[in-house]
Amino acid sequence: MDSSVIACIPYHRCRRYIRRAVESLLAQTHRRVIVVVINDADYETPPWPALADIDDPRLVRFDLAKNRGPYFATQVVLAATNAPYLLIQDSDDWSHPERIERLLAALKRDKADFALSATPMIHEQADGSNNVFDIRWSRIAPDNRMPGFNESFNKFQVDTQITAEFRYRAPHVGLYRTSTLHNIGGYYGGFKMSYDTFLTNLILMTGKITHVPEPLYYWLVRPTSLSNCMETGMRSAKRKIAKAKIAELYGTSYKFYQAFLAGHITSSNMTQRIRLICRRHITPEDKQAIYFESQRLKQYLPKL
């Protein structure tokens, strides 16, 4: 089985952290990985000066013409690659050296569509040091606590039970089968925020999520990130509007899921219907831009 992985790092105004993110992926024990840093039209503080001296043929540098958000950037990478696996890595986070190896093994072992790991949540201190304040999605047994961490850090928060309620069930940052993403309409549904919550729900409807209990992905929590800043944060008006629209998509998808469980439609028919509704909010301009940008990116992707 082909084990090629393409790792996508959408970038926007994060130069201070981008090198750490890139180096953590280039240092993976799983060597068959292409790392794509895709600059989401940030021409004031582009990432390239921070990466200028990295001479690794597996690192691809790419600029988008217009800022459309991280999901759009990821969709461009997905559309450009024929790698069977896609890894998501935020530009201010970093990975354990065995992250890809462990996630890939879990994905194959469990015949799953998406794999994630336990994630230490990090606060950066004034002196530049990192402070772990929580570990999520760990699924650690009481007799197998992680050394050096308080018992309260070990939380099981992966919710695999699909219900009528649209809610956050698992983080989107992990390793996907690209075929699964194509089947459910891709990584972009015309939204700049909250769509990742919808994606993990869809994967639970149409396939399977597995996860590694050890901490392999380090999530930096900072006030200026997309999910925390005042303009686009969890309590912002923009996010509430986006979440309400996506909740409607979820409601329609859930009806298809119920029809499948009742035996009224097949699995492939359910997936096809979900794929169609997921693409409705993508404008003709964005569809054309995805095609154009992905064709450009293909020219720079090396073979693994």
Mean pLDDT of 109-123: 94
Q: Which residue has the higher pLDDT, 159 or 215?
A: 215
Q: What is the mean pLDDT of the chain?
A: 89
Rg (CA), the chain: 19
* Closest-CA residue to 5 (of 106, 105, 85, 82): 85
Q: Which residues 6+ apart lie within 8 Å of 15 measured at CB?
A: 45, 46, 47, 49, 50
Mean pLDDT of 159-163: 87
> For residue 143, is pLDDT > 70?
no
Contact 51, 22 (CB under 8 A): yes
* CA distance to 88, 191, 291, 294, per residue, from 65 (Å): 21, 18, 13, 12
**pTM of the shown model:** 0.91
Contact 148, 166 (CB under 8 A): no
Which CATH superfamily hosts domain 5-298? Answer: Spore Coat Polysaccharide Biosynthesis Protein SpsA; Chain A (3.90.550.10)
Nearest-angstrom CA–CA distance, 198 and 253: 10
What per-residue confidence (pLDDT) applies to 125? Answer: 80
Q: Which residues 6+ apart lie within 8 Å of 215 measured at CB?
A: 96, 117, 118, 119, 120, 135, 138, 146
Mean pLDDT of 134-154: 54
What per-residue confidence (pLDDT) applies to 139? Answer: 56
Q: Which residue has the higher pLDDT, 202 or 152?
A: 202
Q: Which residues of 158-167 are buried (b: 16+ CB within 10 A; e: fewer)?
A: bbeebeeebe
Report pLDDT digits (tens) over 236-282.
Answer: 677 788 899 999 999 999 999 999 999 999 999 999 999 999 999 99
Residue ranges of alpha helices (H) inside the chain are 15-26, 48-51, 70-80, 99-109, 178-183, 195-206, 237-261, 267-278, 284-298
* pLDDT bracket for residue 224 (50, 70, 90): low
Q: Tokens 């919550």, residue?
A: 197
Q: Which residue has the higher pLDDT, 222 or 283?
A: 283
* pLDDT bracket for residue 235 (50, 70, 90): low
* pLDDT bracket for residue 228 (50, 70, 90): low
Two structure tokens written together for 180: 């699964």
Q: Which residues 6+ apart lie within 8 Å of 202 measured at CB?
A: 184, 253, 274, 278
